[in-house]
Amino acid sequence: MKIAIVGTGYVGLVSGACFAEMGVDVTCVDINSEKIEGLKQGIIPIYEPGLKNIVIRNYEADRLHFTTSLPSVLNDMEIIFIAVGTPSDEEGNANLSYVMTVANTIADHMEKPLLIVTKSTVPVGTSYQIREVIRKRLDERGLQELNFDVASNPEFLKEGAAVNDFMSPDRVVVGVENKGAEELMSKLYHPFLLNNFRVIFMDILSSEMTKYASNAMLATRISFMNDIANLCELVGADVNMVRRGMGSDSRIGRSFLYPGCGYGGSCFPKDIRAIMKVGEDVGYEMKVIKAVEEVNNSQKAILFHKFSRYFNSDIKGKTVAVWGLAFKPETDDMRDAPSLTLIESLLEAGVSVRAYDPAAMQEARKYMDSKIYYATDIYDAANEADALIVPTEWKEFRLPNWSILKKIMNNHLVIDGRNIYNKEDLASYGFEYRGIGQK
Ligand SMILES: NC(=O)c1ccc[n+]([C@@H]2O[C@H](COP(=O)([O-])OP(=O)(O)OC[C@H]3O[C@@H](n4cnc5c(N)ncnc54)[C@H](O)[C@@H]3O)[C@@H](O)[C@H]2O)c1
């Protein structure tokens, strides 16, 4: 089987490499020529555990190819996946311009029947829009007889565990309109699900909605727990115990019940905004989702407030060590990261920032340039700092040498945005501790 994946980012590259690993002949297409040239030389543009080996192995085996030219490969393919970005526009709508550019390129160069699958996260109805654009152009080109299908196949992989998620998905959701498309997609996903075929076929609109509904549910759990955590602090309860007590109920479950300093990343914030816009467009207000976003926005400010409160707002001229810049561990992605909200407030208040992240230092420079100090490791970041703040729970932060930190820091305050430390433990080393949702 020959497929092309258009958009070689977190989703496109992981999907392409994993399909190739199963024996599919895959061409990854991207307009970024630097990225494509780098990939041909084994340079992986993102940090994603396990990805490099798969990409190099399949490229060398001639099953994975890279190009900047969709027209040159289009008519060799059976399936074209669209996996380009769908960021928020100024009003919060999903910006579909990248998706539509790809649809137009397909429309301009298609000569044979194809299955065009939307993998990007898109508002309900987008696959039909793609179909319309292509149909119109084919008709203009005098190709009225040329038939094609569209399908929706939203992606559920998590950055940081993307290869694993793609190789062993909980489920694969596919929206189709006919048996032919269903059979082709079954064939493609069959190798991933040999023992338990977990592809859920449905209509296209429901498939597009499933992706937004899933992300909205996960974001809701996070904001819900952050709300509970804030209340715990005010009434003297410990959210860690509450979480364990709640999560043991099989109807609730343990996942996604961790309070923290808010969700970020390339998906939840924009998808939450986009589903609200989808509602607005049809005259329906998504009240729960609106509250989810409001809680998240205030939660992202919580680390700064804890720091400022500790010093009675007298923070100008202080120095803070920030451990963790990526929006979560095991990725270098900083889109909408809570660390950015924190650092922006610190800088505005005249506080110096010494930051360290195991994977996102290069990415951080794109956002903050020379406004902060880029430390070489956690101890360099903490040197002479008045406080240590942890927005991201990388494993290497979990058991630092507190005795060294005690010596090198000016003042011994730890603000833990992910509840990875123990208050009593830190007190034994002479540190003051502030977590989320704890006394
Ligand atoms: N990142 C995730 O964890 C994740 C998970 C599930 C779904 N998604 C969704 O998948 C989609 C892609 O996300 P991503 O994080 O991989 O994006 P990304 O920004 O990492 O990658 C998008 C790529 O598309 C390329 N591109 C843009 N226009 C193009 C064109 N006309 N032709 C070819 N390439 C083009 C860009 O150069 C870029 O390399 C989004 O809709 C996102 O919401 C992302």
- What are the pLDDT digits (tens) for 344-357? 999 999 999 999 99
Segment 172-185, tens digit of pLDDT: 999 999 999 999 99
DSSP three-state, residue 332: coil
The whole-chain average pLDDT of the chain stands at: 97
User: How far is Cα 281 from Cα 113, in angstroms, rounded to an integer?
Assistant: 33
Answer whether residue 439 shows pLDDT above 90.
Answer: no
- Which residues, other chains included, contact 249 with Cβ-Cβ below 8 Å and sequence gap of 6+? none
Q: Ligand 1: residues whose CB is within 6 Å? A: 6-12, 29-32, 35, 83-86, 98, 101-102, 120-121, 155, 157, 159, 266-267
Answer whether residue 197 shows pLDDT above 90.
Answer: no
Q: Give the Å distance between the CA of 98 and the centre of ligand 1.
A: 9
Largest CA distance in the chain: 79
Q: Which pLDDT belongs to residue 214?
A: 98
User: How far is Cα 126 from Cα 6, in angstroms, rounded to an integer?
Assistant: 16
Strand order in the sheet with 319-323: 373-374, 352-356, 319-323, 387-390, 413-416, 432-434
Report, as an integer, the average pLDDT of 157-178. 96
Q: Which pLDDT belongs to residue 388?
A: 98
Answer whether residue 302 shows pLDDT above 90.
Answer: yes
Segment 46-96, tens digit of pLDDT: 999 999 999 999 999 999 999 999 999 999 999 999 999 999 999 989 999
| Beta carbons within 10 angstroms of residue 306's beta carbon | 20
From the CA of 94, give the closest atom in ligand 1: 41
Q: Give the Å distance between the CA of 85 and the centre of ligand 1.
A: 3
Which own/partner contact pairs does 35-42 have at CB distance under 8 Å and 24+ positions apart?
A: 35/8, 36/8, 36/66, 36/67, 36/68, 39/8, 39/13, 39/66, 40/66
Segment 227-279, tens digit of pLDDT: 999 999 999 999 999 999 999 999 999 999 999 999 999 999 999 999 999 99
- Tokens in use for 346? 């610190």
Answer whether residue 339 shows pLDDT above 90.
Answer: yes
- Tokens in use for 310? 């500790």
Q: Give the Å distance between the CA of 30 and the centre of ligand 1.
A: 10
Q: Give the DSSP per-residue string, 79-139.
A: EEEE-----B-TTS-B--HHHHHHHHHHHHH--S--EEEE-S---TTHHHHHHHHHHHHHH
Fold matches, 2-202 and 212-298:
yes
Residue 314 one-letter amino acid: D
The active-site residue out of 18, 28, 232, 267 is 267
Q: What is the topology classification, in CATH, of domain 2-202? A: Rossmann fold (3.40.50)
- Which residues, other chains included, contact 431 with Cβ-Cβ below 8 Å and sequence gap of 6+? 402, 405, 406, 412, 413, 414
From the CA of 267, give the closest atom in ligand 1: 43
- Residue 232 appears among annotated catalytic residues: no
Q: What is the topology classification, in CATH, of domain 300-434? A: Rossmann fold (3.40.50)
Task: Please name the residue whose Cα sits nearest to atom 7 of ligand 1.
Answer: 155
Q: Which pLDDT belongs to residue 26?
A: 98
Let me know the angle formed at the C-alpha of 340 by 336 and 342, rounded to the nearest 5 degrees: 125
Q: Give the Å distance between the CA of 304 and the centre of ligand 1.
A: 31
Residue 101 pLDDT grade (very low, low, confident, very high; cuts 50, 70, 90): very high
Residue 383 one-letter amino acid: N
Residue the block writes with tokens 């490969």: 73
Domain ranges of the chain: 2-202, 212-298, 300-434
The beta strand positions in 134-227, using DSSP E, are 149-152, 172-175, 199-202
Answer whether residue 45 shows pLDDT above 90.
Answer: yes
Task: Please name the residue whose Cα sits nearest to atom 12 of ligand 1.
Answer: 85
Report, as an integer, the average pLDDT of 37-43. 97
- Tokens in use for 290? 């609106």
Q: What percent of the chain has pLDDT over 90?
A: 98
How far does Cα 332 stand from its chain's mean position? Answer: 10
Helix (H) or strand (E) holding 363: helix 361-368
Q: Give the Å distance between the CA of 87 and the centre of ligand 1.
A: 9
CATH code, residues 212-298: 3.40.50.720
Tell which one of 8, 10, 70 to mutate to probe ligand 1, the residue whose CB is within 8 A of the most ligand atoms: 10
Tell which one of 30, 164, 211 to mutate to probe ligand 1, the residue whose CB is within 8 A of the most ligand atoms: 30
Task: Please name the residue whose Cα sits nearest to atom 15 of ligand 1.
Answer: 10
